[in-house]
Structure 1
Amino acid sequence: MNNGAKNVFLFYKKTPEMEEISKTITEEAKSYGYHIVSNAKDAQIIISIGGDSAFLQAVQKTNFRENCNYVGISTDSLGFYTDFTINESRELFNSLQEEQISIRQAPVLEVIINEETPFYCLNECTIRSNVIKSFVIEVFIDDMHFETFRGDGMIVSTPSGSTGYSKSVRGAVIDPDLPSLQVSEIASLNNNSYRTLGTSFILGPNRKLTLEVVQDGNDHPIIGVDNEALSIRHAKQIHLSLANREIKVVQKQEHSFWKTVQKTFV
């Protein structure tokens, strides 16, 4: 890492406990010559304090910056984005100083709803019924109609997000070195009228996925990007693809995605 990158922004939930933790991390940062800034736009390093959820929030709230490094510090167990614990803050800043880290380029999902301004997410985009009733989605891969889905919803995830919501509906865990989209069903109905693949499927990095919500009275689905719901009342068409951008995630040199998977799930 460039030793001139000294401005650090801390992202955390403003509770008394987290304020105390942030003070400790601030002192550690200053002892290594780093400057804590109050505006994320001025930072070359953005540190989230919490868990993976806090990391996702930090990336969302700072607009998926490509020209900085994101670091996750966990207050509990290590996650897929949080490679350091609060007891390892000294190790973190020493590793940054000595450039004894690895940088993972994490792909970002672009979501365009009704041809309007794109949204971005690091883990997944979900589309779900907002009432106790299934709804219909026409699924297109590139320009080809692929299937007609009826059910509770769909999840489109990145490799980073494959260990989250997607996995809970029996999606595959995807190596983060494979840029791709995974499409997973939530409680699909398969009968003579509606027929889907019936399993998750994976699209390459240059594919475009389009979901068209059939306007049959239940056409106000809930759309979520990572852990945030969008305030869009009438979604007709959703375009999803890997964005032409990535974020840089700081990890320990010895980091292993599959060891984290093993520790978490096996």
Structure 2
Amino acid sequence: MKPEDFDYLSKMLRDRSGLVLTKDKAYLLESRLMPVARKRGYKGLEDLVTQLRNRDETLANDVTEAMTTNESFFFRDVKPFDQFRQIVLPNLLKARATRKNFRIWCAAASSGQEPYTLAMILKEEAARLNGWRHDILGTDLSKEILSKAQRGIYSQFEVQRGLPIQMLVKYFKKADDMWEIDPAVRSMVQYKPWNLLQDLKPLGSFDVVFCRNVLIYFDQPTKTKVLNSIADLLADDGVLYLGGAETVLGISDRFKPIPGQRGVYAVQKPGYSGPSLGAAAG
């Protein structure tokens, strides 16, 4: 790939999605964008870049989606979901006892495993949630991957990655060589295409936000912008989940780590000490 083509693609992707690509990641452009080029009938990436320079917006969207579609799996890393079920959810039930509703946002929903994991957890807690309204919103930059999430159909490989066998049996049914999630669970999640670099306010307010394994792809100014935008949407006692390799330290002063809870952050607001989540999850 020509250096000027790499520079053009990396700048375009950074501007459109926040994705930062260094030159040692040029192989990712080759592997992910060649299928896009072939689909268009181009000989290679040089032709693809030429068309992009002609301001082909449809192609630009296809290229951005191809580069930002990341893998996901059920109950990824396990502990955050145990922590949500054992500590955050009981805290929400206590704090929202009067209004009996709460909202959760999965900010990088990908193919749906994370929001459906949360939906299954809430299903398991149905007795405690009787009379409550709870909304789960899953967003992603890629419309194609969200379409897969909305269908809720997964391969044997996908359901074997992290999904406990009892959950598979209880909430999925076999459909030929695939597994389809229970329609009742699927209906608990609303999906919407959204770019984290856009204005987030139209999404509304939230009590819990999962934005895991997303910030690692951004440069520091973009991380700061996204974190501050999320803070604007979170309730005063709201909780933010980040990936294990991510942190707010040195990036945003709008959040603070919750003691004893790795990867879980409280909104930093004047005069408010944050939710009482100090107990360790089992």
Normalised to the residue count of structure 2, the TM-score between the two structures is 0.31
Higher-helix-fraction structure: 2
TM-score, normalised to structure 1, is 0.33
Which of the two has greater strand per residue?
1
Q: Greater relative contact order (Cα 8 A, min sep 6): structure 1 or 2? A: 1
